[in-house]
Structure 1
């Protein structure tokens, strides 16, 4: 399913003069998006059935090798309303990471090489799953190519090709009246119990923000793992109307923010 680049660009949105000018739909107090990286196999075996139990849609930024190994399951996830986003073609990060070969080191990338990564990743996902890709997550949360005096940000490329770009290991939620859609802040969900997650949720509710959680594996416990018990409790809490939370995909919330901020400028 194709689309024009213009329909999925993270255009420079107006910033609202006051935070209180922004409104979440249906009187909600804040928003949460659940996002997961790399198309880990436990996401389709454990995570998606749990999310579906609560009629909760998440955003999955997929790595293509893992995607193709479980292609039927990912087709079903996409058909069921979960969002599929891009995580580049080859997951380039700093060459300082031992799991990154020098051929995938951002220090040796160029903007042209990264543009090719983004375009080819989108085309491959769209061909395999028949979806439109509008959301991106920076591998390792890193947003540069090159090194030293030749270092350049590839955030403008992400803004050109996607409605949003999500970071990693940030420390706060997003202010929907102000945030840069090409540099959304995301907080780690892996390894946390629900009480730890709820502290962040409560702070987001107090500020009317948009909390983007990020995880990897989904299981009872383990390295880089969002705990099943935490995910279940989070879904139950966010689905309780008394708590005033809009729980939805990155794309859905991004489009609402676009509408609110573009409308305010009109």
Structure 2
């Protein structure tokens, strides 16, 4: 009898550990559309395409926002898009971004990167009036000066959730082990076709998990996703909105955090 009870307890623990999260309104999965670097093509093409389908994106902005576009970003925020932190100057390892030697992340200190994040939070507050902020590590690097700043970010309280990189297999299903400051994403390559974007959505839906897209340029700029491919993805998501929840990064992570507390 004791052995049977022990087996039942073990089975129960394993079942709970593998239990998939229940998405709102009986959705099967969640997709998050994120866009890096505050690019003009995002305002000109991505935002209007998102608005046409009533979807909200997450835009990781840098200090490159200026007097010519801040009003447009403010308008996007007013429509429900999330404005998120991507540092002021986008420090990146000089091997990955040799054209920007003054902002080589290997020369940064943790103090410098934290100060940039703090200052960018203040700039974003001036744009949208919000105090809670999410973050994406520039060039998906979690280190500066050869040292990780993830724990410093965690202790600072400046950032609620943070996104890292990944590939087309970066589908999240184990939410109990998900570090809210190390959330993986699908970093797109230049001119990724719409069919491949939709394939990632299908795999996410089949897993019952969460898939995070990392876009840069849309129909222009760099690491460009063609406008038609982006539109194809959004049209597919719109046709399947009954089963797929398209959320901002903070919305989805808030939901997951609350669900984990209730387990």
Would you call these one fold, judging by a TM-score over 0.5?
A: yes
Q: Distance in 2 between matches of 1:51 and 1:111?
A: 36
Query: Residue 121 of structure 1 aligns with which residue?
Result: 120
TM-score, length-scaled by structure 1: 0.85
Residue of structure 2 equivalent to 1:246: 245
In 2 relative to 1, CA 121–61 (structure 1 residues): closer, same or farther, beyond 3 Å? same
- Secondary structure at the residue paired with 2:19? helix
Distance in structure 1 (CA, Å) of the matches to 2:234 and 2:16:
33
1:30-69 Cα offsets, whole Å, 9 max, x none, are 1101000111011111111111000000000011223543
Structure 1 segment 55-204 matched on structure 2, within 5 A: 55-96=54-95, 97-101=97-101, 103-146=102-145, 151-159=146-154, 160-170=157-167, 171-175=169-173, 176-190=175-189, 191-204=191-204
C-alpha distance after superposition, 1:73-105 (max 9, x if no partner)? 11100111000000011100112221221x312
Give the distance between the partners of 2:171 and 2:197, measured in 1 at CA. Answer: 12
Equivalent residue runs for 1:210-249 within 5 Å: 210-219=210-219, 223-241=222-240, 244-249=243-248
Q: Do 2:132 and 2:160's aligned partners in 1 also have CA atoms closer than 8 Å?
A: no
- What secondary structure does 1:255 align onto? helix
Measured after TM superposition, the shift of residue 109 of structure 1 is 1.4
Cα RMSD for the two superposed structures: 1.9
Stretches of structure 1 that go unaligned for 5 or more consecutive residues are 1-15
- Number of residue pairs matched by the alignment: 243
Structure 2: runs of 5 or more not aligned: 1-14
Judged with a 3 Å threshold, the aligned counterparts in structure 2 of structure 1 residues 104 and 126 are, in CA distance, closer, same or farther, namely same
